[in-house]
Structure 1
Amino acid sequence: MKNLIYFAFLLTFTFGFSQKKTESLKIQHSENAKVHFKDSPVLFFTNTDSLILQVHPQAMLIDSLWINKLIKSPLYDKELYILGEDEMFVADLEELSTELLKSRLKHLNSKTPFKIQYNPELEQIIRTYLQKRKSSISTIMERARYFFPMFEEHLAKYNIPMELKYLAVIESALNPNARSRAGATGLWQFMYPTGKFYNLEVSSYIDERSDPYRATEAACKYLASLHKMYGDWSMVLAAYNYGPGNVSKAIRRAGGSTNYWNIRKYLPRETAAYVPAFYATLYIFEYAKEHNLKSKEKAISYYATDTVQVKRQLTFSQITETLNIDIEVLKFLNPQYKLEIIPYIEDKNYILTLPIKDIGNFVSNERLIYAYADLEDSKEERPLQELIKLEEKITHKVKRGEYLGKIAAIHGVEESNLKKWNNLKSTKLQVGQNLVVYTKNTNPIAAVKETPTNDDNKEQTYYIVKLGDSLWSIAKKYSNVSVQNIKDWNNIWSVKSLKPGIKLKILN
């Protein structure tokens, strides 16, 4: 019934918008030859018909609000969750008496396949999390509203207890880009050999351990195989953290017992604390309401997305400039692409995940997007290069409120380059920190010599940005005007700068 109501609402919503005046972009297409005309990524075909892309201003406004919420949501925070060995444990917590905790743990034990028993150490861990990690838990709960539905779908497929979704909380704090000092990566913290065993590709371009869907599928297969070995979910947790071979050694030292609590004293400190940490997380999430724990925001619950298989190599920037999708959204939905490049290799299925509202635009304009990518790639093939001096750089002192993306936008450089130039392993910055910045057309390795263009004889006009515009669609309105021209003339470095009402200078 819920789905029927939702479908009826969509029909009404769509019909209501269809009565409004819409803007349209006409694109000629066919199955025949294509020709590029100078800087304009236009396709012409011999058998033409017309495809009209409609842009509803009201829908675009809703989309922009959605993106704004997504970018500013806690999904991008990097939170510390696991307790450190040197942290003092909380002995007392007024809101949680020992008797109340015993009663709740008994209830959890009765409805889960895990052997959850009260012990003073577990009580201390739960109390410490509730007191010292309250902010982090709220952030992770927000991430959980996004990831847990997908986890639950996979867990159900492999007949694995739903409670194991909390395993990803203690592994990565639900950060798909999490990476441990040992090299474990992604939501489920796969090491390289385990990831390869479960067919998670790792290359210069891609790390599928960070792909939420593929990594979750692999994690479920791994958990299912561990349960076949041990027949006990607490032992599965220990083996997931410490490795099956090491757990087998602990079983031998415990005289052959396969009860987790019997072998626990033969496990290293980290693994001995791992299962109690899981039980503590299970308790906290199941009794979040009783402890007044809630998500930091209501922005993220579930966002409809869809996938499309790419047919040529594409960069996130090319997708951003053609479809006007914020690059941070692309990064969030496609964390497996390490260089913000989706590769194309025959017999490989590399997919692009987009908000469902953008999938139709991508499919309808696929040939044009690839044509634009061809043009952009061809511009990079410039033979004349010369080394430049390292003195041709500036130093940026980090001010309060600044973050890496903001500093990159100020200087018109890529965030990834800022990290590379300053050997940054994360995006965390300190106020007063000095960053090396190589400004526009400057690179510590090479700079390109170009023939300067003479814009003095060109007529200057202005274009007012409308809802639904992208740099690409604006460039197509003028002859011999490229996306890069508009960027240069108006000092635009990010798609975030393109907002309705902005006046753009056009030389034509």
Structure 2
Amino acid sequence: MIIKKISLVVTAFFSISMFAQETATASLEIKPEVKLSYLDSVKSSFKKNDMAARVDSLWMKELTSLDIYDDLSKDIQTINTDITVDEELPTELLKQRLQAMNEKSPFNIEYNQGLENIIKSFLKNRRKSFSRLMALSEYYFPIFEESFSRHNIPLEIKYLAVVESALNPKAVSKMGATGLWQFMYGTGKQYALKIDSYIDERSDPMKATAACSEYMNKMFNVFNDWELVLASYNSGPGNVTKAIRRSGGQTKYWDIRSNLPKETQGYVPAFYATMYLFEYHKEHGINPERAVVKNFETDTVNIKNEMTFKQIADLLDMPQSQIQLLNPSYKLNVVPHYQGEPHFLRLPKDKIATFVSNEDQIYAYVQHQSGIRTMSKQLALKVGPKAKAKLEKTIPTETEIYKVQKGDNLGAIADKYDVSILDLKKWNNIKGNSIALGQNLKIKSNADPIAKNPKDLKAMPETDKKPTEAVAAADEKEKTSGQTQEYVVAAGDNLGSIAKKFGTTIADLKELNNLPSNNIGLGKTLIVSKAVLEIDEPSTVNNAIVSTNASVDSFKKGASSAKMGEDYYVKKGDSLYSISKKYPGVTISDIKKWNGIKDGDIKPGMKLKING
């Protein structure tokens, strides 16, 4: 018994000793200081606003999708009003509902077999499309109604935008008609819509609707009949007057319909069918999808300097796609600055509050970014044409194959690979906007980003391009170094904590992983860094660029920048690339050479020499 007690005492003593040693060791561990980038340091000074109006991924996907537009356009052009459609809708009940619609509308809505066939066709084939369109209408219809009420236009004309563009401001027809109201280039100019290299106001919901209101008023003064106004909107007033003459002077749409162009013959019935489905969707069991954001939850701010969507997205912690959706008239993802002309940016109200409260810091950051691009451009001039030609020959064209998945569209795929829709169409010989499920698309990796913009680097949407990507000497030897780094989301994680852990920003994490919001699911695999280009034997010009990069990094990191000549202990999540970024002027090759590393593998706790 005494021996047992003694052994217990000894065991307890050793346990306490071990615990004390662990505690002492833990207390000596120094937590690595989290180094903020210049962008994060700017954002950390922002005054926060508690308003939480956000646009989620569903709403963004619907606004960018051209699927409904393509489907409805084909329906209207090819639908045969003389073919009876088998769909449950008693004719007498339809007549009663059309009569009720006619009583409260300035249009002459009358029952006929052709209209019944189109309504039944939409009910049979387009239920899901109309469910999605009704969600979009909660954003766009208030814009239309406000403009129409000011110009004395029947509010029912709002349904025409569904027929014209499926409520997609980026819709472009085969003939080049653009925007919600499908204006041709000449018509847009005629109604004072600005169209230049940066802006296409045919895609601006408010300005295009005002132009539409003006057109409708003029045509009503000519025809004095709203159905003929709709017909003229589709085929032009000349075709309507010809149809009137060929019909012996008849002036009612249904009397002259057979003498109108084929597309226009299905146009007005499609308008009435759309109006009917919106009015009686509950009776047919069509449930509108949830409208995440309504127009009154957004606001505009006047932009005083040229800014890219990338800069705005980084500063306000929101995806670029969200800015594109709310500002479809900016063609190059750039808000330009013209002398004497104001340009406005539409954002959710909480983001407007953040922007207005922190304008000085925001414009200072934009100025800083512009300075980087200017240095890059000046250094690029030092590269001779021969060297440039030689460099271009050494860069191979890499083609990746992407298989179209459910829910994909050209806009989403272009955003995913950071290429333009025009490039996607050109590479894959696509004429319209339709892509098939399972279709293989070619994605070329060396598309020239400068070609997207007439002002070279000045207006590149990707403003975080490094000067080394803008120019390189002919004698460079390039090779890919490092690995794409991934992280599996654990319990308690959020984008902010992950960004700090890996020395990156929330905006970068969103861009790398195509995240529409700050929400991440438990167990989701995130890309936290990508493989980078390592440059050996830099030329004189490249030395200048590296020096420029070092000064920029130094400016971003400020007093907290790591020092040369010290030892660095590898932490979990580190890569050679992320470590090299901590030390101005240090390359991956340097770290490998100083530490005898051949394959690029490093492990947590490993000691690295950073030689000065």
Q: TM-score range by the shorter chain?
A: 0.7 to 0.9
Deviations 1:269-304 (A, max 9, x none): 221221111111111211111111122335344451
In structure 2, do the counterparts of structure 1 residues 292 and 197 end up closer, same or farther at CA, with 3 Å as the change threshold? same
Aligned partner (choices 186, 192, 199) of residue 199 of structure 1? 192
**Structure 1 segment 74-223 matched on structure 2, within 5 A:** 76=65, 78-79=67-68, 80-82=71-73, 83=75, 86-87=78-79, 91-93=84-86, 95-223=88-216
CA contact (8 A) 2:143 2:295 kept: no
How far off is 1:346 after superposition? 1.1
- 3-state DSSP of counterpart to 2:292: coil
**Structure 1 segment 423-442 matched on structure 2, within 5 A:** 426=433, 428=435, 430-438=437-445
Which residue pairs with 2:56 in the alignment?
67
Deviations 1:193-218 (A, max 9, x none): 11111111111221110111110111
In structure 2, do the counterparts of structure 1 residues 158 and 439 end up closer, same or farther at CA, with 3 Å as the change threshold? same
Distance 1:442 1:175 in 2: 26
CA contact (8 A) 1:75 1:143 kept: no
CA contact (8 A) 1:71 1:329 kept: yes
Are 2:318 and 1:313 aligned? no
Q: Quick one: which amino acid aligns to residue 142 of structure 1?
A: A
Distance 1:287 1:71 in 2: 26
Which residue pairs with 2:342 in the alignment?
349
Which residue pairs with 1:496 in the alignment?
515
CA contact (8 A) 1:321 1:470 kept: no
- 3-state DSSP of counterpart to 1:188: coil
**Structure 1 segment 292-311 matched on structure 2, within 5 A:** 292-302=285-295, 304-311=297-304
Which residue pairs with 2:325 in the alignment?
332
Distance 2:513 2:312 in 1: 13
Distance 1:154 1:314 in 2: 29
CA contact (8 A) 1:315 1:341 kept: yes
Distance 2:448 2:241 in 1: 58
Aligned partner (choices 465, 468, 472) of residue 449 of structure 1? 472
TM-score (norm 2): 0.63
Q: Quick one: which amino acid aligns to residue 156 of structure 1?
A: S
Distance 1:413 1:141 in 2: 30
How far off is 1:99 after superposition? 0.9
Distance 1:104 1:402 in 2: 35
In structure 2, do the counterparts of structure 1 residues 53 and 429 end up closer, same or farther at CA, with 3 Å as the change threshold? same
Distance 2:270 2:119 in 1: 8
How far off is 1:110 after superposition? 1.2
Aligned partner (choices 220, 226, 242) of residue 233 of structure 1? 226
Kindly tell me the number of residue pairs found equivalent between the two proteins.
442
Distance 1:413 1:194 in 2: 32
**Structure 1 segment 364-403 matched on structure 2, within 5 A:** 364-365=358-359, 366-378=362-374, 380-381=376-377, 382-383=380-381, 384=383, 385=388, 386-388=391-393, 391-398=396-403, 400=405, 403=408
In structure 2, do the counterparts of structure 1 residues 93 and 210 end up closer, same or farther at CA, with 3 Å as the change threshold? same
Which residue pairs with 2:597 in the alignment?
none
The structure in which a higher percent of residues are helix is: 2
- Unmatched tracts of structure 1, length 5 or more: 1-38, 45-50, 457-463
How far off is 1:92 after superposition? 4.9
Distance 1:498 1:117 in 2: 47
- 3-state DSSP of counterpart to 2:182: coil
Aligned partner (choices 237, 244, 248) of residue 241 of structure 2? 248
- Percent identity, aligned pairs only, is 35
Distance 1:177 1:140 in 2: 15
In structure 2, do the counterparts of structure 1 residues 388 and 497 end up closer, same or farther at CA, with 3 Å as the change threshold? farther
Q: Quick one: which amino acid aligns to residue 81 of structure 1?
A: L
TM-score (norm 1): 0.74
Distance 1:136 1:491 in 2: 29
Q: Quick one: which amino acid aligns to residue 59 of structure 2?
A: L
Q: Which protein shows a greater Rg?
A: 2
Distance 1:406 1:167 in 2: 26
- 3-state DSSP of counterpart to 2:283: helix
Range that drifts further, 160-169 or 432-441 = 432-441
How far off is 1:334 after superposition? 0.9
CA contact (8 A) 2:424 2:443 kept: no
